[in-house]
Chains A and B, each alone.
Chain A
Amino acid sequence: MRIIGIESSAHTLGIGIVSSGKVLANKKLMYDVGTTGMIPNKVAEFHIGNISTVIKAAVEGAGIRITDIDGVGYTRGPGLGPCLSVGQLAAKTIAATIGVPIAPVNHGIGHIEIAKAFSHTKDPLVIYVSGGNSQILKRHGRRYRVLGETFDIGIGNMFDSFARKLKLSPAWGSTVEKKAKGGRYMAMPFTVKGMDFSFTGLQTHAAKLAGKASENDVCFSLRETAFAMVCEAAERAILLTNSRELIVCGGVAQSARLQEMLHDVAREHRVRFGFAPNEYNADNGAMIAYVAERMLQNGADTPLNECDIEQRYRLENVVVY
């Protein structure tokens, strides 16, 4: 089967083509957040303007024609409504035009499953960290079970909004991470409750220090504290579930520092640790195609008129194939 996957839940417009679990193409364009962050309608406009170009690039990159596609996947949610609609519309159009089945995919499941594939793990403890999500999960039967998560905002959102506070450009977490280089540690609020954590206290504290303390020091301390919170919760979850494998996925998993810290955690408990290449930790279409292929192989296609979007699509409700 050759499956096309369309991801448009946030700033990234990603189109991937997957066949038998192998990625044939993974193309993307990213909306420039500048210093203002994401305005849903503006991002949707960007996706509308570019989607045909990116689809064409992916199809050509895979060395096929659009009519060679055997199935379509798109991100049903979670994400920004106007942005999700663009991918939904494109996916339905392709499926209807060439007459192939379609599968609506949960964005988070996409991140998890592609990371599992690249890390060759079977039943890992999952650390899913992105803009809107920060969760610790483990598969339980046919679904993922949330063992721990943020009480308030996603870890990526915390970094993004701090980047906006400092007027950094592009206003997102990786820029904060660059500024962290050479910083010294300053005490910050550290909020872990069992396997859950909270980032707003940390966010407020860092915002108060902005403009007063050294930018390097604040960025460094914010990063070290936030990641240490995730690591501690992860460690508790490893012990509780007796997991032998650990993966990290989602946009924030691109951080080399977080990868290094989780590697230390894994080593201490003699747990295998893995993650996907950064191209797949960031939002992408290949992960959507990858999950859609499995769904379609298992007969989990959806009638066209039932292909909707769901802005708050919780991943623990989703059956995993």
Chain B
Amino acid sequence: MINMKPIHKGAEADIFLEKAFGRTLAVKARNPKRYRVESLDRSLRKTRTKREAKAMYLASRAGINVPALYAIGRFSMCMEWIEGKLMKDSRQKQSVYVDLGEQLGLLHKAGIAHGDFTTANVLIKEGKPYLIDFGLSEITTSIEEKAIDLILMKRSISKRDFSAMTGSYVKAYPDARKVLDRLSEIEERGRYKTRTLG
């Protein structure tokens, strides 16, 4: 199965498609990286697979749009194939950002920080956002981790879209204000001042 050509090659995992039970499944495999020493490589692949599975399970239980998880291996997992387009690859309607803010609010309310929350990790299917790639996620109460989710997204979308997103984020997540305050604090730390484009 791993000899197939991946449909997507990522920095820490590849995605393969497989047909089973009359439907298409996505297999996410964390293959070894030659640049890492073996014990670091194995431990990263293992903990991230486990962490991702747990975060996806908790997220789907909290009613968040994530692919359904079918099976978990040591370094790989098998999940529903969402046939959508990556958010970064096309222009989105304002309503997508509103929905996205709500999804992130629910995720944070469920105690999960995504860890790589960019438009490259959101799929749009029939106008609805699906959150994918929980490999760097953290099950956490940390306001800082959640604020970093917002920073990463803020950097990849326009100011207007970001404020549409935060509007619904605040409604979905009771502690949202604290996270937004931390966001400005991190930006004030200096390194970030000139980061955002447009």
Contacts and interface: CB of A to CB of B under 8 A. Distances in A.
Interface of A: 145-146, 149-151, 185, 187, 190, 192-194, 196, 224-225, 228, 231-233, 235-236, 239-240, 260-262, 264-265, 267-268, 312, 314, 316-317
A150 B195 CA distance: 12
Interface stretch (B29-37, B100-108, B159-167): B29-37
A193 B35 contact: no
A145 B197 contact: yes
Contact of B44 (A190, A194, A236): A190
B116 interface: yes
7 contacts: A185-B39, A194-B115, A194-B152, A225-B40, A228-B36, A231-B36, A261-B35
Nearest to A150: B191
Interface in B9-58: 9-12, 33-37, 39-40, 43-44
Nearest to B47: A190
Contact of A232 (B12, B186, B194): B12
A153 to B, nearest CB: 10
A146 B156 CA distance: 12
Contacts of A190: 40, 44
Given A145-B197, A312-B190, A314-B194, A193 B37 contact: no
Contact of A193 (B40, B43, B136, B194): B136
Contacts of A150: 191
Given A151-B191, A192-B136, A239-B10, A231 B39 contact: no
Contacts of A192: 136
* Interface SS, B side: loop
B148 interface: yes
Contact of A146 (B115, B136, B148, B195): B195
Interface residues of B, number: 28
Among A150, A193, A260, A267, max chain B CB count under 10 A is at A193
Contacts of B120: 240
Nearest to A224: B37
Question: At the interface, is chain A mostly helix, strand, loop or mixed?
Answer: helix
A317 B194 contact: yes
B168 interface: no
Contacts of B33: 228, 231-232, 264, 268
Contacts of A228: 33, 35-36, 40, 44
Interface string B160-198: 000000000000000000000000001000110111010
Contacts of B118: 194
Contacts of B10: 236, 239
Contacts of A264: 33-35
Contacts of A196: 148, 152
A194 B136 contact: yes
A135 to B, nearest CB: 9
Contacts of A149: 191
Contact of B43 (A187, A240, A260, A316): A187
